[in-house]
Chain A
Amino acid sequence: EAQVTQNPRYLITVTGKKLTVTCSQNMNHEYMSWYRQDPGLGLRQIYYSMNVEVTDKGDVPEGYKVSRKEKRNFPLILESPSPNQTSLYFCASLPAARAYGTEAFFGQGTRLTVV
């Protein structure tokens, strides 16, 4: 089954304690991205990756890092989490950024609370 898998689904952590949210896709997609969703603000892109070893900032990259060492994995790293990073996070993948008529696949979401 084609899917994007995120872990963990829920996470409560303390300010400053480094954490990683994992994302993996099994569709050999080139493009992967991270979004955060906050009430009234919709989906905002954090980082994206066009392919292995190619990453770039989205609209709200501050406080986040990513890496793309393998095609299937795109972890989101919070080096020093702060309460304003409390949010619902989604990983998404596409066959390619400019692939016509294709559909996007999303992970189940990670609800992060930073206290």
Chain B
Amino acid sequence: DAKTTQPTSMDCAEGRAANLPCNHSTISGNEYVYWYRQIHSQGPQYIIHGLKNNETNEMASLIITEDRKSSTLILPHATLRDTAVYYCIVSFNAGGTSYGKLTFGQGTILTVHP
């Protein structure tokens, strides 16, 4: 699975958009970009995933560059409850290996402040 690089931490003001970048320069053609988040000590939560096109759901938007070497997760109106660790993973399936193992890196600690 391709490796990803994310900033260690980011801050965002409540109500503003949070833009979380991820670099994945070694992504292969059949690998998806997945985003999960983990709010303190809770189970990781799936946010969104995409292959080539930009994606949007009720939680977030995912912007993937044309060369697919990087992406940005956008939380359009961040709230205090969005404070969490955000993980970017590239894989063909759910973010895991061919045996389904999910491997999260260090992620980005997003702090939303009032």
Give chain A interface residues in 38-56, CB to chain B under 8 Å.
42-43, 45, 48, 50, 56
| CB nearest to B95 among chain A residues | A104
Give chain B interface residues in 18-35, CB to chain A under 8 Å.
30, 32, 34
Kindly provide the distance from the CB of A35 to the nearest chain B CB, expressed in whole angstroms: 7
| CB nearest to A90 among chain B residues | B43
Report the bound CA distance from A106 to B104 in whole Å. 13
- Measured as residues with beta carbon below 8 angstroms from the partner, the interface class of chain A is 20 to 34
| Contact status B44-A97, CB under 8 Å | no
Report the bound CA distance from A58 to B98 in whole Å. 13
Answer whether residue A25 sits at the interface, using C-beta atoms and an 8 A cutoff.
Answer: no
Question: What does DSSP make chain B's interface, helix, strand, loop or mixed?
Answer: loop
Report the bound CA distance from A45 to B99 in whole Å. 11
Report the bound CA distance from A4 to B102 in whole Å. 16
Given known A-B contacts A103-B94, A108-B43, A111-B41, A43 and B102 have beta carbons under 8 A apart: yes
Kindly provide the distance from the CB of B92 to the nearest chain A CB, expressed in whole angstroms: 6
Which listed residue, B46, B99, B103, B105, touches A103 by the CB 8 Å rule?
B46
Which residues of chain B come closer than 8 Å to A107, judged between CB atoms?
43
Answer whether residue A112 sits at the interface, using C-beta atoms and an 8 A cutoff.
Answer: no
Answer whether residue B49 sits at the interface, using C-beta atoms and an 8 A cutoff.
Answer: yes
